[in-house]
Structure 1
């Protein structure tokens, strides 16, 4: 076994506490896979064959409506598993959303048969699965609340701050921001133009530059 395989279970707090025989089973039966950037790892109508545990990289999980509108549901980062895959494995159902790699991704793939056996036989593994599932479902309810009830200007300011990661320039487009926020591109464009009019941002092709982070943070923290 490679060093990566030997250690991957220890990157997940819930798995690292499992008993040695179960950890050994996960390691021996898993396969380490690498997926290039901008690849669809799963999509609607497909059935999961493995439980994926992300070791490196980021996967964007998004829903696409029949009219072509998209919304980002959540992201899977290193040290996390995919709640949608968990749900499909438990329900023996197909995916209803798609997962796109935003970076080169490395993951441990555990076969469905192993997942099924551990869920039924290991309380500790079952607790890990449902704890991760519960947290992500809570996050999804918060996202639904934001989309349904929070003002778009507040959400957009918050998203710009988050995407900036402390830097002034954000590599993004109006279309990408509309997907992040679950709204029409035209709506995002109008709000960005208003932010620019106020002197809070500047726009260029494929880039948004923050010029007044303080005012954006004030708006992002606005609760009314």
Structure 2
């Protein structure tokens, strides 16, 4: 049976009750789990696959806030469930995913009845908040050419990356034109080669 580690924090009777009430939901690549402005219906627990959470500003530019893989919890949903506010970002399935959706009423009951569940949720929230603070620091205080170079360096061992300039712009929270200009300069310097939808690293 596919399970999620946060459910392992529950007592045996409570875990059995929860698992009997939840069914894995399958979402295909490209599916929108929620959009900015939507009310939060529950807490998504990712069992497998990948879900990308991104925000779009008034300028129309988007930035990836974080990704959820197997065994992850949606931090944005935790905040929305606790405050009652709607989402301020959207979640898009990158790789076909299975998800447990814990309804709001059940989430509230588990938070109230299980100290270990509550601690696990808050620890996950704290870790993701720290990651988001690092992202804010990157966006606010590092030049775009430095951020692009760092992003590429962390992936250079792969030899090449299948990604469009627009997708890379979303990763970095900037305009496609900016990314294209910086990539062309790196290509001119002989550090990489560009082809349609692909960046190859020169060793």
TM > 0.5: yes
Q: Distance in 2 between matches of 1:105 and 1:161?
A: 28
Task: Write out the 4+ residue segments of structure 1 that deviate beyond 6 Å after TM superposition.
Answer: none
Instruction: Tell me whether 1:97 sits opposite 2:85 in the alignment.
Output: no
Change (3 A) 1:84 1:178: same
Which of residues 53, 58, 63 is equivalent to 1:71? 63
Structure 1 vs Structure 2 CA RMSD: 1.4
Please say if residues 9 and 120 of structure 2, whose CA atoms lie closer than 8 Å, have aligned partners that are also in contact: no
Instruction: Quickly say closer, same or farther: Cα 1:56–1:178, change in 2 above 3 A.
Output: same
Looking at structure 1, the residues matched to 68 and 12 of structure 2 have their Cα atoms a distance apart, in angstroms, of 26
Counterpart selection for 2:193 from 195, 202, 207:
202
CA contact (8 A) 1:57 1:105 kept: yes
Per-residue deviation, residues 87-143 of structure 1 (Å, max 9, x unmatched):
111111211100000010111111111101111221111101110011111100000
Indicate if the aligned counterparts of 2:9 and 2:117 stay in contact, CA closer than 8 A: no
Map 1:1-224 → 2, pairs under 5 A: 3-4=1-2, 8-9=3-4, 12=5, 14-163=6-155, 166-212=157-203
Q: SS state of the match for residue 24, structure 2?
A: strand
Equivalent pairs counted in the alignment come to: 203
**Unaligned stretches of 5+ in structure 2?**
none
Secondary structure at 2:158 match in 1: coil
Q: Which has the higher contact order (CA 8 A, sep 6+)?
A: 2
Q: TM-score, normalising length from structure 2?
A: 0.94
Listed one character per residue, the Cα deviations across residues 38-75 of structure 1 (whole Å, up to 9, x for unaligned) are 11111112112221110111111000112311111111
